[in-house]
Amino acid sequence: MLRSFLLYLSERETPKNLMMKSSLGRRMAARFIAGDSLEDAVRAVRQLNGEGFDATLDQLGESVHAAAEAEEACRIYLGILDRLAAEGLRSHISIKLTQLGMAMDESLARRLLAKLVERAALLHNFVRIDMESSAHVESTLRIFRLVNAPREVLGVVIQSYLYRSEKDVDDLVQCGARIRLVKGAYQEPKEVAFPRKADVDRNFVKLMEKLLSSGLYHAIATHDPRMIAATRAYAKAHSIRPDQFEFQMLYGIRRQLQRELLRQGYRVRVYVPYGKEWYAYFMRRLAERPANVLFLLRNLFRG
* Active site residues per annotation: 130, 180
CA atoms within 13 A on the CB side of 180: 27
Rounded to a whole number of angstroms, the distance between the first and last alpha carbons of the chain is: 29
- From the number of C-beta atoms within 10 Å of its C-beta (0-12, 13-18, 19+), residue 301 rates as exposed
How many whole angstroms separate alpha carbon 213 and alpha carbon 99? Answer: 33
How many whole angstroms separate alpha carbon 11 and alpha carbon 284? Answer: 10
How many whole angstroms separate alpha carbon 289 and alpha carbon 172? Answer: 29
- From the number of C-beta atoms within 10 Å of its C-beta (0-12, 13-18, 19+), residue 17 rates as exposed
Q: Is 270 within 8 Å of 250 (Cβ atoms)?
A: yes
Beta strands in 172-229 (DSSP E): 179-182, 218-221
Does an H or E element contain 146, and which?
helix 137-147
Identity of residue 167: K
Helices 255-263, 225-237: axis angle to 10 degrees equals: 10
How many whole angstroms separate alpha carbon 127 and alpha carbon 117? Answer: 7
How many whole angstroms separate alpha carbon 95 and alpha carbon 65? Answer: 16
